[in-house]
Chains A and B, each alone.
Chain A
Amino acid sequence: MWRWFHRLASPPHLYRTAGALTPWFAFAAAILIGYGLVDGLAFAPPDYQQGDAFRIIYVHAPSAWLSLFGYTAMAVAGAIALIWRIKVGYAVAAAAAPIGASFTLSALVTGSLWGRPMWGTYWAWDPRLTSELILLFLYFGVISLRKAFEDPGRGDRASALLGIVGVVNVPIVHFSVYWWNSLHQGGTVMRLGKPEMPGSMLWPLLAMLAGFMCFFGAVLCVRVRAEILTRERQSTWVREVVAA
């Protein structure tokens, strides 16, 4: 385990591993998202209360899940880089931030479009919505802070620190619907015990969740490779790889 971890910390090894994983993640994402969208939009039965509006869940829930997963991944990578001085951690954190931010925006927009017919408003200062909006601002802060320093090393360290501090918002987003009175519904899939959905609705949702995770993996691999190339461009191995 530790040996694998140490090998992954080597930029050339991570560059090659990410390159090898990208097509597998991309293929799995295409299959899962394709199946999830077709089954969820065309074949799953309408909800007995929300009708066909509930189908927004097939893009909203995976986006919201990735917004939290992306932030946690970014914070963990930043922490690994800060604590063990593993430079590729900064590359992974830098690569994860824009992906996570884009899915946070997607969760907010799709949630807003779902809220209009169900709650009668596009936006409410509800605990879940507000904490998700704060998450988006945290992403913007982490991305901006990295670019705010002339010395890239200082930018990396400052943004990793902000990422770690901001991770406290992740459980707040997740548990806000239980801790406070909220318009937002509670967990449907990620809860203890049995999910509240019938299989005909649940399977396409699980496929979309898995598909979005694979998509995140594929895009993260491409971005990590780009970050490594930029950061290691003076290294001999990078020049050999690019020249080949």
Chain B
Amino acid sequence: MIRGGFWAMGGYARFVWPSIGFAVAVLLWNIWSARRHHARALVRVRRAIQMARSEES
């Protein structure tokens, strides 16, 4: 049940919330990092295609 002292976590707030925060930050970093990795890979492929085209011409 959500209690009045939900945010206080029975006196353990300074340990519980930073733990949750850190884990959520790790989840968000993973999403951001994977997307950036994929975007960079696409840029590399496009650059390779452009180089191949310029060599052909």
Assuming A46-B10, A226-B37, A229-B42, is B22 touching A110 (CB within 8 A)? yes
Q: In the assembled complex, which residues on chain B have CB atoms less than 8 Å from the CB atom of A105? A: 26
Partner of B41, one of A60, A106, A113, A226: A226
Assuming A43-B1, A51-B10, A51-B11, is B44 touching A229 (CB within 8 A)? yes
A1 at the interface (CB under 8 A from B): no
Assuming A52-B12, A116-B15, is B38 touching A239 (CB within 8 A)? no
B10-45 to A contact mask, C-beta < 8 Å, 1/0: 111001101110111011011101110110111011
Interchain CB contact under 8 A, B23 and A110: yes
Q: In the assembled complex, which residues on chain B have CB atoms less than 8 Å from the CB atom of A131? A: none
Assuming A51-B10, A229-B42, A230-B41, is B15 touching A56 (CB within 8 A)? yes
Interchain CB contact under 8 A, B34 and A234: no
Interchain CB contact under 8 A, B12 and A117: yes
Q: In the assembled complex, which residues on chain B have CB atoms less than 8 Å from the CB atom of A159? A: none
Q: In the assembled complex, which residues on chain B have CB atoms less than 8 Å from the CB atom of A103? A: 26
Interchain CB contact under 8 A, B29 and A56: no
Interchain CB contact under 8 A, B20 and A117: no
A34-58 to B contact mask, C-beta < 8 Å, 1/0: 0001000111001000011101101
Q: In the assembled complex, which residues on chain A have CB atoms less than 8 Å from the CB atom of B10? A: 46, 51-53
Interchain CB contact under 8 A, B27 and A215: yes
Interchain CB contact under 8 A, B19 and A56: yes
A219 at the interface (CB under 8 A from B): yes
Please list the residues of chain B having a beta carbon within 8 angstroms of any beta carbon in chain A. 1-2, 6, 9-12, 15-16, 18-20, 22-24, 26-27, 29-31, 33-35, 37-38, 40-42, 44-46, 48-49, 52
13 A/B residue pairs, CB under 8 Å, sorted by A? A43-B2, A52-B10, A102-B26, A106-B22, A106-B26, A110-B23, A113-B18, A117-B12, A222-B37, A223-B34, A223-B38, A242-B49, A243-B49
